[in-house]
Structure 1
Amino acid sequence: MKLLRCIRFDESDTRVFPLAAMPGEWAVPGTFVFADADPETLSRQQRQAFANGFLGLGSFGWSTLVTVAAIEPEEYEDAVAALAQHLVEAYGAPDVRVAEAAAREEIDYAASLCEHPINTLLSLSRFIEGEAIREQFRVVPPPGETLHTKIWEISPDG
Structure 2
Amino acid sequence: MNLARAIHFDDSDTRVFHSPARTGEWCISGGFEFSNWSQGDLVGKARQAFTNGWLGVETFGRTSFVAVTPITPAEIARLADALAAHFVTIYGAPDVETARPTALEELHQMTELCAGHDINTLLTVTRDLTENGVRESFRALPPQAAALDQFAIHVTDDAPHGHDHDH
> Same fold, TM exceeding 0.5?
yes
Letter in 2 for 1:140: L
Q: Corresponding residue for 2:27? A: 27
Letter in 2 for 1:33: E
Q: Corresponding residue for 2:132? A: 131
Q: Corresponding residue for 1:40? A: 40
The offset of 1:122, in angstroms, is: 0.4
The offset of 1:73, in angstroms, is: 1.6
CA contact (8 A) 1:4 1:27 kept: yes
Letter in 1 for 2:83: L
The offset of 1:143, in angstroms, is: 5.3
**1:53-132 alignment to 2 at 5 Å?**
53-115=53-115, 116-132=117-133
Structure 1 regions of 5+ residues with no counterpart?
146-158
How far, CA to CA, are the matches of 1:109 and 1:142 in structure 2? 22
3-state SS of paired residue (2:114)? coil
Moved beyond 4 Å, runs of 4+: 142-145
3-state SS of paired residue (2:18)? coil
CA contact (8 A) 2:80 2:100 kept: yes
Q: Corresponding residue for 1:52? A: 52
Q: Corresponding residue for 1:155? A: none
In the alignment of these two chains, the number of paired residues is 145
TM-score by length of structure 2 reads 0.82
CA contact (8 A) 1:3 1:71 kept: yes
Structure 2 regions of 5+ residues with no counterpart?
147-167
3-state SS of paired residue (2:111)? helix
3-state SS of paired residue (2:93)? coil
